[in-house]
A and B are shown apart, each in its own frame.
Chain A
């Protein structure tokens, strides 16, 4: 019996993503060479909802994406799609790996480094436009796109800030972030104290048993 569902779509999607990523790498100042430190590393992503497996094989020639891999894995992450989205958007990858919903096996350091390298990519989108449309038109269109992108980024960050203020200050739907962090820190501290207390109780119980015997 076949052990995998029809892999055509999955393989096609990975192929398209691989082409797009490698194109972006080619247009970045360092080129695919920036992935040279990750030669021979393999990163596995197992998404449980929806069920999807993806393996990242970076090398000095670029990024290879596959849906199947049988060899040794450097880092393996398992979680839902939203967990992976959180990781991709995280400013502090290490914290998200520890505190997020993902379960991890293997060495996290290369994965954190890869995420840092990929998120710091400065893709020169102007180059292919200039190649296609010529110097003047290409530059003008690139300028327009840059302005539109910059405006949308500003608008998005302003919207997020104002929405946050509304939720916390006006509607009082949720406590502020700092308060939540304080609360979690207290819970964490309480958890540690309970653990210590449990150890002490255990020790006392053992001593009591010894005295009785």
Chain B
């Protein structure tokens, strides 16, 4: 029997050390078509989910914001406009390919100056304590090997009173919607991934990783256990996605 600790990678049990490499491979593979696939898979609704995240962030001029697993920079671009020239936005992603795609996209849009790009692991954020007014992580937390460790690391990086916003797939609240969503995730998504991104395995992993991710109440409890206060969540699109928010005391 192996003494190594294991975790899930989709429905598979893998060594904890192996998960980061496997997730990295997924995102190296899909980085180029990431935005297109997001639009196709969600019918563009991911933009609405992200917009609501921005609204709830309460970010103002002069704030410092960290967007973890920032991927192709949808949130960072919007935050950059909100914080203005006196603020600071850090787009962090553990994956080099995603960071490269995000940086190229934002530079092409003329977003420069207030956005910094950092390749960083959410579990060990390379920032001094009490650095940020707001931290967001959109569709990234479920890929982190140790979610509790990541939440504690985010708590440290936040200023007292700062907000953490976690936008992530969650558990649909309606049984019928849940069945339709399962069917869509396990049958349509891999085919879509094969046709558009030439990679069905990554989208099979996407569907599986969503099912393994903690549901709304569990994630809220995890945030509270990590030290966040006033933790709440908002279900969106029937609970397919949930936005959790917590404050650093």
> Do B235 and A67 have beta carbons less than 8 Å apart?
no
Partner of B56, one of A6, A61, A68: A68
**Known: A70-B58, A71-B58, A71-B60. Contact between A6 and B235, CB under 8 A?**
yes
Give the interface centre of A1, A3, A7 by most chain B CB atoms within 10 Å: A7
> Do A6 and B55 have beta carbons less than 8 Å apart?
no
B236 CB-CB contact with A under 8 Å = yes
> Do B48 and A15 have beta carbons less than 8 Å apart?
yes
A4 CB-CB contact with B under 8 Å = yes
Number of interface residues of B (CB under 8 A): 18
**Which residue from chain B places its CB closest to the CB of A40 in the assembled complex?**
B61
**Known: A11-B48, A11-B51, A67-B55. Contact between A6 and B237, CB under 8 A?**
yes
Chain B positions 59 through 72: 1 when the CB is less than 8 Å from some CB of chain A, otherwise 0 = 01000000000000
**Known: A8-B45, A8-B48, A71-B60. Contact between A2 and B55, CB under 8 A?**
no
Report the separation of the CA atoms of residues A71 and B56 in the bound assembly, to the nearest whole angstrom: 11
Q: Cβ of A6: which chain B residues have Cβ within 8 Å of it?
A: 234-238
Chain B positions 207 through 235: 1 when the CB is less than 8 Å from some CB of chain A, otherwise 0 = 00000000000000000000000001111
Chain A positions 71 through 84: 1 when the CB is less than 8 Å from some CB of chain B, otherwise 0 = 10000000000000
Q: Cβ of A70: which chain B residues have Cβ within 8 Å of it?
A: 58
How close is A74's CB to chain B, nearest CB, in angstroms? 15
**Which residue from chain A places its CB closest to the CB of B232 in the assembled complex?**
A3
Report the separation of the CA atoms of residues A11 and B56 in the bound assembly, to the nearest whole angstrom: 11
Q: Cβ of A12: which chain B residues have Cβ within 8 Å of it?
A: 45, 48
**Which residue from chain B places its CB closest to the CB of A13 in the assembled complex?**
B48
Chain A positions 26 through 68: 1 when the CB is less than 8 Å from some CB of chain B, otherwise 0 = 0000000000000000000000000000000000010000111
Report the separation of the CA atoms of residues A61 and B49 in the bound assembly, to the nearest whole angstrom: 23
Partner of A2, one of B49, B52, B58, B233: B233
How close is B22's CB to chain A, nearest CB, in angstroms? 32
Report the separation of the CA atoms of residues A4 and B47 in the bound assembly, to the nearest whole angstrom: 19
Report the separation of the CA atoms of residues A60 and B154 in the bound assembly, to the nearest whole angstrom: 34
Report the separation of the CA atoms of residues A64 and B42 in the bound assembly, to the nearest whole angstrom: 24
> Do B236 and A8 have beta carbons less than 8 Å apart?
yes
How close is B150's CB to chain A, nearest CB, in angstroms? 23
> Do A8 and B237 have beta carbons less than 8 Å apart?
yes
Report the separation of the CA atoms of residues A6 and B52 in the bound assembly, to the nearest whole angstrom: 11
Q: Cβ of A15: which chain B residues have Cβ within 8 Å of it?
A: 47-48, 51
> Do B232 and A2 have beta carbons less than 8 Å apart?
yes
Q: Cβ of B232: which chain A residues have Cβ within 8 Å of it?
A: 1-3
**Known: A68-B56, A71-B58, A71-B60. Contact between A8 and B233, CB under 8 A?**
no
Report the separation of the CA atoms of residues A189 and B53 in the bound assembly, to the nearest whole angstrom: 52
> Do B234 and A7 have beta carbons less than 8 Å apart?
yes
List B residues 3-59 near A (Cβ within 8 Å).
45, 47-49, 51-52, 55-56, 58
How close is A98's CB to chain B, nearest CB, in angstroms? 32
**Known: A70-B58, A71-B58. Contact between A11 and B52, CB under 8 A?**
yes
How close is B92's CB to chain A, nearest CB, in angstroms? 25
Report the separation of the CA atoms of residues A109 and B58 in the bound assembly, to the nearest whole angstrom: 26
Which residues of A are interface residues toward B (Cβ below 8 A)? Answer: 1-4, 6-8, 11-12, 15, 61, 66-71
Q: Could you jot down 26 A-B contacts, CB within 8 Å?
A: A2-B232, A2-B233, A2-B234, A2-B235, A3-B232, A3-B234, A4-B234, A6-B235, A6-B238, A7-B52, A7-B234, A7-B236, A8-B48, A11-B51, A12-B45, A12-B48, A15-B47, A15-B51, A61-B81, A67-B55, A68-B52, A68-B55, A69-B55, A69-B58, A71-B58, A71-B60
